[in-house]
Structure 1
Amino acid sequence: MANDIPPELVAQIRRGATRLARRLRAERPAGGLSLNKLAVLSHLHRNGPSTPGEIAAAERQQPQSLTRVIADLEQTGLITRDRDDRDRRQYVLALSPAGRNALAVDAAGRDRWLADALRDLNETERQVLRLAAALMEELAEL
């Protein structure tokens, strides 16, 4: 049970995992999808067709901040835009087959990078990672 884990150990794991994630993020090579493009594509993959407002609300962003991202994704053919059947003034975005492929390629690239980065961890970092993974599994079962 999660109650068996001392709060100070939980805090140490959180701090260590945060520092490790920050370091790994800083070492991540450029390329792939931007975070905003990834957020929009992932949202459409998880939730199906959505309005820009629904995407912005779910991703906790202002709709204006996604306007350029949505235009770029539409221009490159990664998403499609159709009128909403319920409200013809609104439009709905959907993930195209090319968008699904772009998500898969980006995820595969991130997985390769992460596997390489994890291979280079020192023993302390590996221990933090194991403890954090065990804690997350335990919390997921609650």
Structure 2
Amino acid sequence: MPDLSHGDDVAAVNSLRSAVMRLSRRLKHQRVDESLSPTEMSVLGTLAGCGSATPGELARKEHVQPPSMTRIVALLEAKGLVRLEPHPEDRRQKVVTSTEQAETMLKESRRKRNAWLADLAAGLDDEDWAKLREAAPVLEKLAHL
């Protein structure tokens, strides 16, 4: 566990935060559909990874308020990227499901972002690339804590 009273740990945490934020911003620019906000793309990614969900479940997973998620889902539905279906057990609720159009767009977006990252990584030497490969699972774990 980092000791934030220790100078080296403070510097490492600061460097990690800065690098992750900068890389994230650059990665967000590698989009296939510029009309979608990063939040809309994130919701589609969540649906792709977790399957269908109610707007309330999506709001929790995306850390937004339910009224905001209702608006996001409505925008995605208007763009033909999700469809709302009756909840199988609770008629008061709807279930949000991504469409084939959304899945195709996400696949192309992942391809484009992966290619961009691969081009960046091609500039690393073998030692740095090995370190990055080892760090990837740790970064993934941090992203899901």
TM-score after normalising by structure 1: 0.70
Q: Which structure exhibits the higher relative contact order, with contacts defined as CA atoms closer than 8 Å and separated by 6 or more residues? A: 1
Distance 1:132 1:21, change over 3 A: farther
- In 1, are the aligned partners of 2:77 and 2:83 still within 8 Å (CA)? yes
Distance 1:85 1:26, change over 3 A: closer
**Is 1:23 matched up with 2:25?**
no
Q: SS at the partner of 2:96?
A: strand
Alpha carbons of structure 1 residues 113 and 52: separation in structure 2 relative to 1, 3 Å = same
**Alignment gaps of 5+ in structure 1:** none
Deviates more, 1:48-57 or 1:25-34: 25-34
User: What is the match of residue 135 of structure 2?
Assistant: 133
Q: Which runs of 5+ in 2 are unaligned?
A: none
Aligned residue number for residue 34 of structure 1 = 37
Do structure 1's residue 90 and structure 2's residue 89 form an aligned pair? Answer: no
Could you give the per-residue CA deviations for residues 85-106 of structure 1, whole angstroms, max 9, x where no partner exists? 2111211111111111111111
Contact kept, 8 Å, 2:85 with 2:94, in 1: the verdict is yes
The residue identity in structure 2 corresponding to 1:15 is N
Structure 2: distance between partners of 1:92 and 1:130 = 38
- Sort the Cα spacing of 1:30 and 1:103 in 2 relative to 1 into closer, same or farther, 3 A: closer
Indicate the RMSD between aligned Cα atoms, in angstroms: 3.3
Does the aligned pair in 1 maintain the 2:31–2:109 contact within 8 Å? no
- Provide TM-score, normalisation by structure 2: 0.69
Aligned length: 130
Deviation at 1:22, TM superposition (A): 2.2
Identical aligned residues as a percent: 29
